Amino acid sequence: MFSSFMTNAWIVGTVVALLAGATGFFVVLRGSSFAAHAIPNGAFAGAAGAALVGVTPLVGLITFAVMASVGIGASRRHRSDVATAMALVMMLALGAAFLSLSAAYEPQVEALLFGEILGVATTSIAPVVIIASLCAAALAVMYRPLLFNAAAPDLAAVRGLNPQRLEMGFMLTLALGAALTVPVVGALLTFSLTVGPPAAARLVTRRPGSALVASMVLSVITLWASIAASYQSNLPVGFFVGSLSALAYVAARVLTQWRGRRV
Amino acid sequence: MSAPATIVDVRGVDVELGGRRILTDVNFSVRSGDFTGLIGSNGAGKTTLLRLMLGLVQPTQGEVVWPSHAREQRRVGYVPQKVALDVDVPLRVRDFVALGDDGHRYGLRRRTPDTWRRVHDVLDAVEASDLAERRIGALSGGELQRVLMAHALVSAPELLLLDEPLANLDPGATEDIVSLLARVREREHVAILLSAHDINSLLGVMDRVVYIANAHVASGPTDEVVRPDVLSKLYGHHVDVVRVHGRFLVVTGTTSQEPVAEHPDLVVE
Amino acid sequence: MHWLFEPGIWSNAAVRTGAGVGVVVATVSALVGLFTVMRSQSFAGHALADVATAGGAGAGLFGFSPLAGFVIGSLLGAGAMEAIGVERVRQRDVATGVVLGGATGLAALFLYLITLSSSSAGSTQSILFGSLFTVSNSSFGVIAVVAAAVCLALAALGRPLLFVSVSPDAARARGVAVRRVALAYTLLMAVTVGLSAIVIGSVLSTALLIGPPAAALRLGRGLWTTLALAVALGVGAVGFGVVASYDSYYWWPSHRALPVSFCVVALVVLELVLVNVVVRTTRRRDAGARV
């Protein structure tokens, strides 16, 4: 399980989980789960498009993830879920068109959706670490405005915080993270990590800093357990990540209800 | 003694929202240290007027001037009537109050012990020190109102705007909040403008009144505004002002009605 | 009309059935979707399609009827979302996200096991993106019956649902059981989405559920005109989408047809964008005229 060919999976998995835990904290705080689901799917379509045109996948991933995030971020607050849904289906439909025009292999499609973390190449470690650090830096800069805007949007606007600019900044950060993680761990796995552990973390503490750290730790534990379980059972990592993430949230809910009050 | 400085000057302002005239030719000013009551029935345009002063609503005519500052530097605190708070948001009361000071700034400047001292100071000013460690989503309505005041005060504003702080309070609680605001004004040296639909609970502390009806506004010292001739002109028909046991009773003859909330997209047939 | 209808389009049985099923699904999606948009439940509407997909994959693995798999999967997903809590918008967002994440994991497992047990190439893609042209004539009947049942249930639920969607507080004050109406509607949405996900795929399912009603809400005044507009826009997108997809075979020398789902989604998005542009310019002109 810790043999040399697994080393890359552990390293990249940990970085991706840390990033998903951090972005997820804000995703859950802001109620942006739909966007967090749509943007990686947009990136997936971009990879398919890049294969059709014959450019390197990263270009397609970034282009489409950014297009999706701009489409979502530019929508007015009212009915932003409709804009997200439309951006999502448009991207996926484009992806389907690209695939049918280029006749890509089924396994490639599945890899983009469900990920192949056990087959991560050593060359993809450096880009993953670099882009993850960029995203982390962006989140750090936006930390307080994101918190303020999520807690009380009206009051934040009174203090001169531009909600559109903030939303756009956050969406672009999500897009960058998605473009990076999709080819490595798949569009669907990232999403599971982005919602379950952070939603659990914020129930068990009332301090924003601790909730952020707890979210990252929980996300890493979820992924480590999933990789280990997947290695032992030969079942897909995505299955374990999805169910363990949901389980983490349910456990936190049960725990807080059982204690009878919130901390 | 020099006259108190003007903090904000509302000059000849008209506001239209969605094609409907909300306010017409509004003129008044707030001077430092004033305690002003913005009085009007539900739906008269009080919240719009507050949002106008905050720069969240743009006038179709006229202007709102902050003589001593550029608009970006105006020091104003705002306490909304309701704020939609996520009950699960991981924030303690003191974290939330601190966001009133630095929540709009990008970057991670460290909070100094001075910041936290200021946070506890304003929590003390609104008599809510014991709430500091509570989760913000777990507060009662009354507790939340005090915390919102502390949040608005933490950046040391010159003017504190409160939207209907006395709505839905029983008489005892109303008395408490009004006297608390009077103490806050003294301690924090802040001018206060609050909206209310009943004038009487404010009579003891209020210096000036801005009376709003029929999209028009009359302002000045209480005794000069709450008079039959002034209010009749404002309402456009005869209004009686009766004083009973030191309380005002304004008899308008018509009943005011709050507009029914409508879904923005659909008119039900 | 040869520029529009390539020769032989209506003599193709697969196209005829596909178009028929498409019209039925577009109609019921538009009717149900109007409330999805009004209630800001687009995320749940989309997530249920993915959850239904997991149910369909499970049915494929264990040898159940796929239709039952899709609908039961979707209903279980809706029940789980409601159990987690849907009182506030942000809680609803988290509940939907957690259920979607969990269901995605299950889908990954089922699809993996299916590829192990059989060499059915193309299953992932057809489950995700669906294909109108592969609907069999026999399933048309079942689909039409379920769709009719959904419409009847929606008509029965209509009035309290509209009340609750427009003004939940007023509805609660008038003694409407808001939670129960919301639950009933979510289950109805689950059946619709499960049904449409199996015939047209999860992508198209979301497009038809959200796009036409959102456009109709921008245009329509009363409830009935809005419903009629939504249906017309949905059916129109499906009709022209089927034709365009069929025709596209002749557009390229390589003779690779564009997928139906792409053509329909592109038309739905186009409708929404056009409606937004038209509404915005006329509103601006109105505002200008008033000043």
Closest residue in B to C93 (Cα–Cα): B86
Provide the number of structural domains found in chain C.
1
CB B179 within 8 A of CB B35: no
Cα separation, B182 vs B187, whole angstroms: 9
Chain-chain contact of B104 with A143 (C-beta, under 8 angstroms): no
Cα separation, C81 vs C100, whole angstroms: 9
pLDDT of residue A112: 67
Chain-chain contact of B261 with C170 (C-beta, under 8 angstroms): yes
C180 lies in which domain range? 13-201
pLDDT of residue B96: 93
> B256 falls in which pLDDT band (50, 70, 90)?
very low
Average pLDDT over residues B13-27: 87
User: What share of chain C in percent tops pLDDT 70?
Assistant: 81
User: Which fold is adopted by the domain A4-259?
Assistant: ABC transporter involved in vitamin B12 uptake, BtuC (1.10.3470)
pLDDT of residue B229: 81
Residue at C65 is within a domain: yes
From B115, B131, B114, select the one nearest B123 (Cα to Cα). Answer: B131
Mean pLDDT of chain B: 83
User: What share of chain C in percent tops pLDDT 90?
Assistant: 26
Residue at C274 is within a domain: no
Chain-chain contact of C224 with B269 (C-beta, under 8 angstroms): yes
Asked whether the predicted pLDDT for residue B255 surpasses 70, the reply is: no
> B129 falls in which pLDDT band (50, 70, 90)?
very high
Report the sign of the C-alpha dihedral through residues B258, B242, B38, B190, in that order: negative
Please list, in sequence order, all residues whose beta carbon lies within 8 angstroms of the beta carbon of residue A223, skipping any fewer than 6 positions away. A13, A14, A16, A17, A193, A241
What type of residue is C98? V
User: What share of chain A in percent tops pLDDT 70?
Assistant: 90
CB C195 within 8 A of CB C211: no
Cα separation, C218 vs A182, whole angstroms: 35
Residue to test with chain C: of A29, A79, A82, A89, most C Cβ within 10 A: A89
Cα separation, C20 vs C14, whole angstroms: 10
Mean pLDDT of chain A: 84
- Which chains form contacts with chain A, at 3 or more CB pairs under 8 Å? B, C
> C121 falls in which pLDDT band (50, 70, 90)?
very low
From B215, B228, B226, select the one nearest B46 (Cα to Cα). Answer: B215
A4-30 vs C89-117: helix crossing angle, rounded to 10: 150
Q: Which residue has the higher pLDDT, C85 or B21?
A: B21
The CATH 3.40.50.300 portion of chain B extends over: 1-75+157-269
The CATH number that applies at residue C68 is: 1.10.3470.10
- Which chains form contacts with chain C, at 3 or more CB pairs under 8 Å? A, B
User: What share of chain B in percent tops pLDDT 70?
Assistant: 90
From C275, B38, C130, B11, select the one nearest A92 (Cα to Cα). Answer: C130
Chain-chain contact of A206 with B90 (C-beta, under 8 angstroms): yes
Average pLDDT over residues B23-33: 90
Quick count: other Cβ atoms within 10 Å of Cβ B140? 8
Cα separation, A38 vs A86, whole angstroms: 10
Cα separation, A155 vs B83, whole angstroms: 8
Asked whether the predicted pLDDT for residue A79 surpasses 70, the reply is: no
Half-sphere exposure for C284 (CA within 13 Å, toward CB): 6
Average pLDDT over residues B76-103: 87
Asked whether the predicted pLDDT for residue B268 surpasses 80, the reply is: no
Chain C 123-182, residues with CB within 8 Å of chain A CB atoms: 124-125, 128-129
Chain-chain contact of C266 with A93 (C-beta, under 8 angstroms): yes
pLDDT of residue B243: 78
Average pLDDT over residues C112-131: 62
Nearest by CB to residue B267, choosing from C90, C165, C222, is C222
Average pLDDT over residues C241-249: 80
Asked if the C-beta of A84 comes within 8 angstroms of chain C's C-beta atoms, the answer is yes
CB B217 within 8 A of CB B225: no
- Cα→Cα distances C56→C48, C67, C191, Å: 12, 7, 13
pLDDT of residue C286: 65
Radius of gyration, alpha carbons of chain A? 18
What count of residues does chain A have?
263
pLDDT of residue C129: 57
Average pLDDT over residues C42-71: 86
CB A174 within 8 A of CB A23: yes
Please write the tens of the pLDDT for every residue from A34-63.
Answer: 999 998 888 888 888 887 787 777 788 888
pLDDT of residue A4: 67
- Cα→Cα distances B157→A12, B29, B33, B154, B165, Å: 49, 17, 11, 8, 18
The CA distance from B148 to the nearest CA of chain A, in Å, is 9
Angle, CA C46 vertex, CA C155 and CA A242 arms, to 5°? 135
Please write the tens of the pLDDT for every residue from A214-247.
Answer: 999 999 999 999 989 988 888 888 889 999 999 9
Q: Which CATH number fits domain B1-75+157-269: 3.40.50.300, 3.90.1170.50, 3.40.50.2300, 3.40.50.1100?
A: 3.40.50.300
Average pLDDT over residues C266-276: 91
Chain pair A-B, CB pairs under 8 angstroms: 86
Q: What is the complex's ipTM, to 2 decimals? A: 0.87
Asked whether the predicted pLDDT for residue C1 surpasses 50, the reply is: no
Residue to test with chain C: of B87, B263, B266, B268, most C Cβ within 10 A: B266
> Mind spelling out the 3-state secondary structure of chain C?
CCCCCCCCCCCCHHHHHHHHHHHHHHHHHHHHHHHHHHCCCHHHHHHHHHHHHHHHHHHHHHCCCHHHHHHHHHHHHHHHHHHHCCCCHHHHHHHHHHHHHHHHHHHHHHHHHHHHHCCCCCHHHHHHHCCHHHCCHHHHHHHHHHHHHHHHHHHHHHHHHHHHHHCHHHHHHCCCCHHHHHHHHHHHHHHHHHHHHHHHHHHHHHHHHHHHHHHHHHHCCCHHHHHHHHHHHHHHHHHHHHHHHHHHHHCCCCCCCCCHHHHHHHHHHHHHHHHHHHHHHHHHHHHHHHC
Q: Say which residue the tokens 């915005």 belong to.
A: C280
Closest residue in B to A203 (Cα–Cα): B88
From C244, C132, C262, select the one nearest C203 (Cα to Cα). Answer: C262
Residue at C139 is within a domain: yes
**φ/ψ of residue B199, rounded to 5:** -85, -25
pLDDT of residue B259: 41
DSSP code, position A261: S
Chain-chain contact of B269 with C170 (C-beta, under 8 angstroms): no
**φ/ψ of residue B39, rounded to 5:** -110, 135
Cα separation, A113 vs A100, whole angstroms: 16
From B253, B230, B228, B255, select the one nearest B241 (Cα to Cα). Answer: B228
Chain-chain contact of A141 with B86 (C-beta, under 8 angstroms): no
CB A160 within 8 A of CB A6: no
Q: Which chain B positions have a beta carbon within 8 Å of C94's beta carbon?
A: 88
Cα separation, A216 vs A222, whole angstroms: 10
Cα separation, A240 vs A230, whole angstroms: 7
C89-117 vs A187-204: helix crossing angle, rounded to 10: 140
Asked whether the predicted pLDDT for residue B262 surpasses 50, the reply is: no
Cα separation, B77 vs B40, whole angstroms: 21
> Mind spelling out the 3-state secondary structure of chain B?
CCCCCEEEEEEEEEEEECCEEEEEEEEEEEECCCEEEEECCCCCCHHHHHHHHCCCCCCCEEEEECCCCCHHHCCEEEECCCCCCCCCCCCEHHHHHHHHHHCCCCCCCCCCHHHHHHHHHHHHHCCCHHHCCCEHHHCCHHHHHHHHHHHHHCCCCCEEEECCCCCCCCHHHHHHHHHHHHHHHHHHCCEEEEEECCCHHHCCCCCEEEEEECCEEEEEEHHHHCCHHHHHHHHCCCCEEEEECCEEEEECCCCCCCCCCCCCCCCCC
Please write the tens of the pLDDT for every residue from A148-191.
Answer: 998 888 888 888 888 888 999 999 999 998 887 777 777 777 88
Asked whether the predicted pLDDT for residue C230 surpasses 90, the reply is: yes
Quick count: other Cβ atoms within 10 Å of Cβ A141? 15
Chain-chain contact of C166 with B268 (C-beta, under 8 angstroms): yes
Please write the tens of the pLDDT for every residue from A215-224.
Answer: 999 999 999 9
Q: Which residue has the higher pLDDT, B164 or B43?
A: B164
The CA distance from A155 to the nearest CA of chain B, in Å, is 7
Residue at C101 is within a domain: yes
pLDDT of residue A77: 56
Long-range contacts: C1-10, Cβ < 8 Å, 24+?
C4/C243, C4/C247, C5/C243, C5/C247, C6/C246, C6/C247, C6/C249, C6/C250, C9/C243, C9/C246, C9/C247
Please write the tens of the pLDDT for every residue from A199-214.
Answer: 999 888 889 999 999 9
The CA distance from B137 to the nearest CA of chain C, in Å, is 13
Token reading at C162: 């509209």
pLDDT of residue B200: 82
Please write the tens of the pLDDT for every residue from B168-210.
Answer: 788 888 888 999 999 999 888 899 999 988 888 888 888 899 9
From C50, C53, C196, select the one nearest C123 (Cα to Cα). Answer: C53
CB C46 within 8 A of CB A88: yes
Cα separation, A150 vs B86, whole angstroms: 8
Token reading at C261: 């789902």
Q: Say whether A188 sits in a helix, a strand or coil.
A: helix
- Cα→Cα distances B257→B40, B43, B169, B211, C90, Å: 12, 7, 20, 17, 32
> C288 falls in which pLDDT band (50, 70, 90)?
low
Cα separation, A177 vs A136, whole angstroms: 9
Q: Which of A75-84, A165-174, C259-268 has the lowest mean pLDDT?
A: A75-84
Chain-chain contact of C265 with A241 (C-beta, under 8 angstroms): no
